[in-house]
């Protein structure tokens, strides 16, 4: 919330602005350090710095980066000039950098609109100081143990820090997040039931099985993955809400979605082929519609979009494909969704797991408990000829593959990153999937380059 500005704040603001300028002159982005310095010099800096007239927050376990980027792109293409942390940190320091960079020398904001991606774990350090007019919660799942502990812990800190006048945009098929802050105004998005009837998708993790109000076992109408679906409690009124923005029809061939909205049924382009892409699209449509943008503006912006290369990149050499996909390490749900996507792709496939923890690698130590929450069983598929586990924890990853039932001749370990290209059996597959973490992107690009060179030379 806005507080009276002090001399300490002004001093911190000027130092941080000078640091931002110096870093820019040195050719660095400076998306974290200026904000971190400002908060260190003035602990309530976020409370005093000016904010745009309308502030939108996007948080959740998975999808928050994609959704915030989608929303920012549509707003820009529609004539707005939102500020945001697209290229920076989603912590309090990153958000402080965005806000100080867009305000004047006395701390007043010069902007009308902000779209801020917010790390859900950082909610207590951000939400009490930055009032949100709208907050999107994409979903809440079990995530990194060392950072997020458990999904109930994350939902509790969001519950405690969301302002009562913030409008919520919630996943109607996520029973963990869609009952947060019941007093707040809200709309729900999701995929209509359609012909979904399965109440089990073979996932290891299911974060909500019993009613949080009375403890009775929930009855699921269907499950799309993990706990995403529709359910109700047989003993009380707890259950899935009706959807305000519901995907009714999905045309994968033409990449189109039919979405029922409060204004009627609308057609939008689907950017991507994964079920998570569908959720990201309907999430963005729900928020943008609540902001008052017309279908025409949203559609025109979607039609001009492409998936960010760090998240999906495809190259074709002859009759073979090389695909790089983001599969966030330490995040069992994100990896499981990618594994599920890969197994359903056509043709014979090789999978390279390059999603080890880059920072833990420096100490040759990594918390590998998340491997046993991840659905490696999805990689035990007759069309997946090879799973190559790369990096310093390659043997741990290989063991998890073997425990998932993948035959030993198809699950291999490659501790040295630089040897991975030579270990791939390229002549046996139609597609190579390189699954990278956010911080192993450069290593993955180097491997991608070697594979493409081998294919171009015809030595596969």
Choose among 53, 117, 75, 64: nearest CA to 294.
75
Q: Are 208 and 180 in contact (CB under 8 A)?
A: no
Tokens of 439: 């911080």
Bind-site residues for Zn(2+): 211, 214, 233, 236
Task: Indicate the SS3 state at residue 432.
Answer: strand
Q: What's the rounded Cα separation, in Å, for the pair 422 and 412?
A: 12
Q: What's the rounded Cα separation, in Å, for the pair 234 and 232?
A: 6
Beta-strand runs (E) in 226-331: 228-232, 245-251, 256-261, 264-269, 312-317, 320-326
Q: What's the rounded Cα separation, in Å, for the pair 260 and 282?
A: 10
Q: Are 312 and 347 in contact (CB under 8 A)?
A: no
Q: What's the rounded Cα separation, in Å, for the pair 352 and 385?
A: 11
Tokens of 136: 């999107």
Q: Are 351 and 387 in contact (CB under 8 A)?
A: yes
Distances (CA, A) of 408 to 43, 389, 405, 416: 54, 12, 9, 19
Q: What's the rounded Cα separation, in Å, for the pair 303 and 299?
A: 6
Beta-strand runs (E) in 111-204: 113-117, 134-137, 167-171, 186-191
Q: How many CB atoms lie within 10 A of CB 433?
A: 23
Q: What's the rounded Cα separation, in Å, for the pair 95 and 36?
A: 9
- N residues, the chain: 460
Task: Indicate the SS3 state at residue 83.
Answer: strand
Bind-site residues: 211, 214, 233, 236
Q: What's the rounded Cα separation, in Å, for the pair 277 and 316?
A: 22
Q: How many CB atoms lie within 10 A of CB 156?
A: 12
Tokens 């309308």 belong to residue: 54
Q: What's the rounded Cα separation, in Å, for the pair 81 and 369?
A: 43
Beta-strand runs (E) in 360-457: 384-390, 411-414, 431-436
């Amino acid at each position: 919330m806005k507080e009276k500005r002090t001399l300490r704040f002004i001093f911190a603001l000027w130092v941080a602005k000078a640091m931002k300028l110096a870093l820019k002159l040195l050719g660095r982005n400076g998306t974290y350090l200026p904000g971190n310095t400002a908060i260190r010099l003035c602990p309530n800096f976020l409370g005093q710095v000016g904010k745009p007239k309308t502030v939108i927050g996007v948080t959740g376990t998975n999808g928050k980066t994609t959704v915030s980027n989608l929303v920012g792109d549509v707003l820009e293409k529609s004539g707005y000039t939102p500020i945001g942390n697209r290229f920076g940190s989603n912590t309090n320091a990153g958000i402080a950098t965005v806000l100080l960079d867009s305000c004047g020398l006395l701390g007043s904001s010069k902007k009308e609109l902000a779209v801020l991606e917010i790390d859900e774990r950082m909610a207590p350090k951000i939400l009490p100081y930055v009032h949100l007019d709208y907050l999107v919660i994409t979903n809440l799942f079990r995530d990194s143990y060392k950072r997020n502990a458990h999904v109930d812990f994350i939902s509790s800190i969001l519950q405690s820090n969301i302002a009562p006048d913030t409008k919520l945009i919630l996943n109607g098929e996520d029973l963990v997040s869609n009952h947060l802050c019941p007093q707040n105004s809200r709309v729900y998005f999701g995929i209509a039931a359609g012909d979904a009837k399965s109440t089990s998708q073979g996932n290891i993790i299911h974060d909500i099985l019993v009613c949080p109000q009375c403890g009775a076992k929930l009855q699921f109408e269907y499950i799309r993955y993990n706990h995403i679906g529709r359910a109700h409690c047989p003993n009380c009124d707890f259950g899935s809400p009706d959807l305000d923005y519901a995907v009714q029809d999905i045309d994968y061939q033409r990449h189109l979605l039919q979405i029922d909205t409060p204004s009627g049924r609308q057609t939008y382009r689907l950017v991507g082929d994964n079920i998570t892409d569908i959720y990201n699209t309907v999430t963005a449509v729900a928020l943008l519609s609540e902001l008052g943008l017309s279908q025409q503006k949203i559609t025109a912006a979607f039609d001009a979009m492409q998936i960010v290369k760090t998240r999906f990149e495809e190259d074709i050499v002859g009759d073979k494909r090389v695909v790089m996909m983001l599969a966030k390490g330490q995040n069992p749900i994100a990896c499981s969704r990618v594994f599920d996507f890969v197994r359903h792709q056509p043709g014979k496939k090789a999978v390279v797991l390059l999603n080890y923890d880059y920072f833990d690698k420096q100490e040759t130590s990594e918390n590998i408990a998340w491997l046993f929450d991840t659905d490696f069983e999805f990689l035990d598929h007759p069309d997946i000829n090879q799973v190559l586990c790369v990096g310093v924890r390659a043997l741990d990853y290989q063991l998890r593959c073997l425990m998932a039932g993948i035959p030993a001749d198809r699950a291999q370990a490659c501790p040295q990153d630089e040897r991975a290209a030579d270990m791939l059996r390229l002549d046996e597959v139609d597609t190579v999937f390189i699954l990278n973490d956010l911080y192993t992107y450069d290593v993955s690009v180097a491997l991608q380059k070697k594979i493409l060179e081998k294919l171009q030379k015809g030595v596969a």
